[in-house]
């Protein structure tokens, strides 16, 4: 009887320790991040997609299409791809 009670107390303590660790070591709990991205005059956002750790924004600038990629956690730009029509 004493052995089973002791085992139960140790198991409950282990579960509480894991929950406490995850609460205090959680990533991304820094708060709200606000970023303003500027677009060229006359540009139009066609679509936005969030997948994994990236946010992709497709922009139409005059006759060109541009895809800008941002890191989802920091909202810093990580890539830019331009599509131009052949002359």
**DSSP letters along the chain, please?**
-HHHHHHHHHHHHHHHHHHHHHHHT-TT-S----------TT-EEEEEEEETTEEEEEEEETTEEEEEEEETTT--EEEEEEE----
- Counting residues of the chain whose pLDDT is more than 90, the rounded percentage is 31
Find the CATH number of the domain harbouring 69. Answer: 3.30.67
| 17-41 tens-digit pLDDT | 777 777 676 665 556 667 788 888 8
Out of 9-13, 26-30, 37-41, 45-49, pick the least confident.
Answer: 26-30
pTM above 0.85, yes or no: no
Domain that holds residue 16: 2-83
**Residues 85 and 77: beta-carbon distance below 8 Å:** no
pLDDT value at residue 76: 87
């Amino acid at each position: 009887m004493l052995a089973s009670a002791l085992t139960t107390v140790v198991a409950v303590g282990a579960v509480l320790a894991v929950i406490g660790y995850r609460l205090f070591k959680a990533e991304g709990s820094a708060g709200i991040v606000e970023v303003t991205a500027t677009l060229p005059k006359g540009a139009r956002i066609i679509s936005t997609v969030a997948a994994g750790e990236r946010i992709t924004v497709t922009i139409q600038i005059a006759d060109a299409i541009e895809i800008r990629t941002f890191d989802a956690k920091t909202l810093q730009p990580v890539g830019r791809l331009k599509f131009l029509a052949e002359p």
